[in-house]
Structure 1
Amino acid sequence: MMYDSHRSTSFVVRELLQKVEKQRASLVIGIPREDHKHEKRVPLTPETVSLLVESGYRVLLEAGTGMTINYTDSYYAESGAEIVETPEEVFQADLILKILPPTLEEVSMMRPRATVFSFLHIHKLSLSLLELMSEKKINALAYELLYDNTGVSPFVTSISEIEGTYSITLAAELLSNAHGGKGILLGGIPGISPTEVVVIGAGVAGTMAARAVLAMGASVKVFDNDVVKLRTIRHELGNLVFTSTLQPNVLRNVFRSADVVIGAMQYINKTHFYRISNDLIREMKQGAVIIDVRMAQGGCFETTMEACLPGHPAVFEKFGVLHFCEMSLSSRVARTASIALSNIFVSLFSTMADCGGTDHFARFDRGFAAGFYLYSGKMVNRYVGNHFNIPVTDIGLFLPGY
């Protein structure tokens, strides 16, 4: 995310802006180890830590955090990070960088008015958690809510590219005998009908999944109710891609012959939610595979929504169809995902340091300000507020010059 001090939409006088830019912030970034067996991603790589330390930040890293992406503590230390042994030390930082949303225990360790970054995963939030953050006047930002000059979230785009591509690699594994599948090759060879893949959602993840399917020689059909997205994917990938809006009769016929269905709808900040009903899944072939890449947003199918419940297995069979519902496919390629996230953080935090810190940056950059769902403990995002029936305050009331 780039910060442009000369854009015509600036809401502050240039003299004030230039004065603030000279006041580089000296902030402490804390990176705790995630307490979840499936979450292996890390927000910053050692290379990114080195760049941020040069920009004036201190970086506190809980010991062992980088091992999930095969980076040792010593490598982080050589890059300028300060390795600490306990999470309590990390959570005293000004800025907390996480992957999963903070837990009650983690928020209790944070100092008042700290700022925490994470993915939203709204089903992992709770009223009691939000109330505690409100009491401590915590600033909470979600990567999915931040947007850049193009109006999209760079975090969502990067992770969607990874998960869309990887979903097809995973589908190929699940169809094989080695993983209990029907023993089908995901692709096409002479004399054998090609595998049929259906993609629900024509955004970045859906486009990357469709591209991977075509590269393997299988057939692909993409559904979305956004005709602009369908037109874009057709222009990008060519006439081999069948596209359609979410017409029930068309979906029913396609689901009956599908070998793989990928769920890639986008639900963050949306007013309409389309989820595939149980009735369609009942009509799928025995041994077919469903992969839902939107579990962090509640799931794209009625059958996968239940996998959001605590204790529910991430891989299960229902109606004779194998469902794969891990919260984040990108955690299976955690090093790639971590590098992608780090690339965005370098630009974001370097600009924030130049701008004078979190509050000043939020004043001058509307895309960054949009990332807050809590500001000084107040609910400022309508999507999250409506989900928990919490009154929402316009963040502009807290940001002079916004």
Structure 2
Amino acid sequence: MIYEPLRSTQFVVRELLLKADKQNISLVIGIPKENQKVEKRLAITPETTALLVESGYQVMIESDAGLAINYSDRYYSDSGANIVQTKAEVFQADIILKVSAPTFDEVSMMKPRSSVFSFLQLYLISSETLELMAEKRINALAYELIYDDSQISPFVTAISEIEGAYSISVASELLSSAHGGKGILLGGVPGISPTEVVIIGAGVAGAVAARAALALGATVKIFDNDINKLRKIQHELGRMVFTSTLQPNVLRNVFRSADVVIGAMQYVNKTHLYRISTDLIREMKKGSLIIDLRMSYGGCFETTMEACLPNHPQVFERFGILHFCELSISSRVARTASIALSNIFISMFSAMAESGGVGRFARFDRGFASGFYMFTGKMVNSYVANHFNWPVNDIGLFLPGL
């Protein structure tokens, strides 16, 4: 028996020509405390912890890891988790469940042949970290790379929905006089021209941001080079939304009048990356606002790329334009984001427990197998390999039957 992900991210049983025996095994899942200065989300909630323990897993969580989402150790302990005091203990688990990308020090604490799951965040991963993973034959999986049977990542969809909605809240806040903005209301009231919101990227985050901005009365213009996405968003939101491909002259005219520009391009597993040039940003009105939702992939704008560097301010001004560049805007609503992640994990890990562990589940589920960028220490994802100029292997070579 195996399990296959559906559009709803639920997993159901599917029969094979060759029967695979059901194998319940006991694995230890470790939940380390994130660096809560930059990452407040946590992979699982106490409710999901209880369900994982019921499925046969042992859950080990570092003390105070849940404080950023307002869950004390007692909540996790009552749910069946084992609370440990040191990070080193957590990293001896079979599976390390993180949100931010693993660091060199964290991989150093992992035992050989274990697995680490996290968001990709390529600009936070070093070549030295990958080399250590290779040496220890680590399995490293990125949530953005997992897909369901409709070729959509449930993790990207969930987080993009949150980030798209919250980006409009951030825009409203930063445009106000209280935060040094122009002192304008995002939206519109009778007798006053509505705020103009420009969105670069017509994916989930862009669509949700557009819907939220329209609800407030703003004028919304959306750009993307995928005509199918533009057609879909036009169908969903109606003719009130202006849509266009990334035509330089059209962009220039729109940027001159924009009050808010939101960068929401999709970069994962893409061969061509589009970034808005500094020349366009120079032509924006003084006091306007840029919000970049793709900082973990290097940013959507040339002026935000520098904010990927360590200790760079997340809010800064350039050419009289205010820039908001948090690594993950959903970390501002960490509890909501953590619950959204947990809802996906419980389905995935329940199926994994039934199928017999990480390797066996990867063998029978292509969508899950696609999530690995390192498998048994071998680079198996071309997008990550190209970023680090590493040779890439076909994961099917290590998973008989895939």
Mapped to 1, the partners of 2:400 and 2:263 lie a distance apart of 42
The amino acid of 2:14's aligned partner reads H
Residue 146 in structure 1 maps to residue 146 in structure 2 = yes
Matched with 1:54 is 54
Matched with 2:18 is 14
Mapped to 1, the partners of 2:55 and 2:81 lie a distance apart of 13
Residue 70 in structure 1 maps to residue 70 in structure 2 = yes
Mapped to 2, the partners of 1:95 and 1:57 lie a distance apart of 10
Matched with 1:341 is 341
Mapped to 1, the partners of 2:209 and 2:267 lie a distance apart of 18
- Whether the aligned pair in 1 keeps the contact of 2:36 and 2:68 (CA below 8 Å) is no
Matched with 1:316 is 316
| 1:117-176 Cα deviation digits (max 9, x unpaired) | 000000111111100111000000000101111111100000000000000000000000
Matched with 2:126 is 126
Mapped to 2, the partners of 1:59 and 1:4 lie a distance apart of 24
The amino acid of 1:326's aligned partner reads E
For residue 401 of structure 1, report the CA deviation from its aligned partner: 1.1
The amino acid of 1:368's aligned partner reads F
Mapped to 2, the partners of 1:275 and 1:183 lie a distance apart of 28
Aligned residues: 394
TM-score (norm 2): 0.97
Mapped to 1, the partners of 2:281 and 2:373 lie a distance apart of 35
The amino acid of 1:216's aligned partner reads L
Mapped to 2, the partners of 1:104 and 1:277 lie a distance apart of 33
Q: Give the stretch that moved more between structures: 178-187 or 308-317.
A: 308-317
Residue 350 in structure 1 maps to residue 354 in structure 2 = no
Secondary structure of the corresponding residue to residue 144 of structure 1? helix
For residue 6 of structure 1, report the CA deviation from its aligned partner: 2.6
Mapped to 2, the partners of 1:301 and 1:111 lie a distance apart of 39
RMSD of aligned alpha carbons: 0.9
Mapped to 2, the partners of 1:351 and 1:333 lie a distance apart of 28
Matched with 1:275 is 275
Residue 260 in structure 1 maps to residue 264 in structure 2 = no
Secondary structure of the corresponding residue to residue 323 of structure 1? strand
Percent of residue pairs identical: 70
Within 5 Å, give how 1:1-400 maps onto structure 2.
1-6=9-14, 13-15=17-19, 17=20, 19=21, 21=22, 23-400=23-400
Mapped to 2, the partners of 1:366 and 1:194 lie a distance apart of 47
The amino acid of 1:252's aligned partner reads R
Mapped to 1, the partners of 2:80 and 2:56 lie a distance apart of 11
- Whether the aligned pair in 2 keeps the contact of 1:260 and 1:289 (CA below 8 Å) is yes
Mapped to 1, the partners of 2:214 and 2:316 lie a distance apart of 27
Mapped to 2, the partners of 1:57 and 1:39 lie a distance apart of 25
Query: Unaligned regions of 5+ residues in structure 2, if any?
Result: 1-8
Secondary structure of the corresponding residue to residue 198 of structure 2? strand
Secondary structure of the corresponding residue to residue 140 of structure 2? strand
Mapped to 2, the partners of 1:3 and 1:333 lie a distance apart of 27
Mapped to 2, the partners of 1:356 and 1:31 lie a distance apart of 21
TM-score (norm 1): 0.97
Mapped to 1, the partners of 2:162 and 2:142 lie a distance apart of 19
| 1:319-359 Cα deviation digits (max 9, x unpaired) | 10000000000000000000000000000000000111001
- Whether the aligned pair in 2 keeps the contact of 1:43 and 1:99 (CA below 8 Å) is yes
Secondary structure of the corresponding residue to residue 303 of structure 2? helix
Query: Unaligned regions of 5+ residues in structure 1, if any?
Result: none
For residue 4 of structure 1, report the CA deviation from its aligned partner: 4.4
Mapped to 1, the partners of 2:316 and 2:12 lie a distance apart of 48
For residue 36 of structure 1, report the CA deviation from its aligned partner: 4.3
Q: Runs (4+) of structure 1 moved beyond 2 Å?
A: 1-7
- Whether the aligned pair in 2 keeps the contact of 1:2 and 1:351 (CA below 8 Å) is no
| 1:49-87 Cα deviation digits (max 9, x unpaired) | 000100000000000000000011001100111100000
- Whether the aligned pair in 2 keeps the contact of 1:277 and 1:302 (CA below 8 Å) is yes
Matched with 2:6 is none
Secondary structure of the corresponding residue to residue 390 of structure 1? coil
Mapped to 2, the partners of 1:5 and 1:211 lie a distance apart of 36
